[in-house]
Amino acid sequence: DGGITQSPKYLFRKEGQNVTLSCEQNLNHDAMYWYRQDPGQGLRLIYYSQIVNDFQKGDIAEGYSVSREKKESFPLTVTSAQKNPTAFYLCASSDITGTEAFFGQGTRLTVV
């Protein structure tokens, strides 16, 4: 089945550690996105990528980094510079027209 897979579903991290969230899609989509979701704030765009080896910052990119070495993969690293990383993270992808985004099931990151 085609879709987007995020892993892990739950992730715990100690303060000061970097952590990488995985996002893989087999929809042959060119564009991929990372969003952060906090209660009452909807989805906020962290980074997006329209093509391999290229990506753009969204509204809240500080403390995060991404790579896009392969079309199907768009991992997100939450660095120790992110002041409040505990949140629900959603990955999405769309074709080049951007006419519909498909979402993964999310990763809930908790800093302990």
- Beta pairing partners, 11: 109
| Residue 53 in contact with another protein, rule: CB under 8 A | no
Distance CA 40, CA 59 (A): 17
| Residue 33 in contact with another protein, rule: CB under 8 A | yes
Taking CA atoms, 12 is separated from 68, 78, 96, in Å, by: 24, 12, 34
Candidate list 13, 22, 27, 50; residue touching another protein; CB under 8 A: 50
Q: Please report how close the Cβ of residue 71 comes to another protein at its closest, in angstroms.
A: 14
- The type of residue at 33 is Y
Binding stretches for another protein (CB under 8 A) = 4, 31, 33, 35, 40-45, 48, 50, 88, 90, 92, 94, 96-106, 108
